[in-house]
Amino acid sequence: MGKDNIRLIASNKKAYHDYFIEDKYEAGIALHGTEVKSIRMGQVSVKESYIRIEKGEALLYGMHISPYEKGNIFNRDPLRVRKLLLRRAEINKIGGKLQEQGYTLVPLSVYLKGNLVKVEIGIAKGKKLYDKRESIAKKDMQREAEREFKVRNLK
């Protein structure tokens, strides 16, 4: 099993719908014992989670990791705050960007890279309602075009 072997565990589709993603980073995540086993089984959700930078550390709030069935007393709180592992320079760069009006930090996906659990995070700017409608219309047009192309190639 190589280092570049990537397996997607969970993705945050809602983030792409609600935000314009401007920059992406890969971060490690500080986990305890049985949380890794639960993640490997795919029992994780990042839909309602968000990231804050406090005291020079990136912290992930609201990520739900279901308790491991065979974990008994070693299981942790499913919604506890987890520390993201980033370099100091990356944290400072992200912190500077977040000082600007309208920017936020959201987790985009959780995946296994080799044996390590990684979180892809994005610096995002919120979409207005008309932007969301525009995105939906663009997707519909693309889907319609693909359908026509498929029908034309079958004949």
pLDDT of residue 120: 93
Q: What is the pLDDT of residue 148?
A: 83
Nearest one of 69, 143, 63 to 110, comparing CA atoms: 63
**Residue of 20, 12, 82 lying closest to 47 (CA atoms):** 12
Q: Tens place of pLDDT for every residue, the chain, 155 residues?
A: 455 788 898 888 888 888 888 889 999 998 887 888 888 888 888 888 889 998 989 999 988 888 877 766 666 677 788 899 999 999 989 888 888 888 889 999 999 888 889 999 999 888 888 778 888 888 888 888 888 887 777 76
The answer to pTM > 0.85 is: no
Nearest to 50 by CA among 7, 74, 19: 19
pLDDT value of position 98: 87
Give me the domains of the chain, ranges plus CATH numbers: 6-127 (2.40.280.10)
Do 110 and 119 form a contact (C-beta atoms < 8 A)?
A: yes
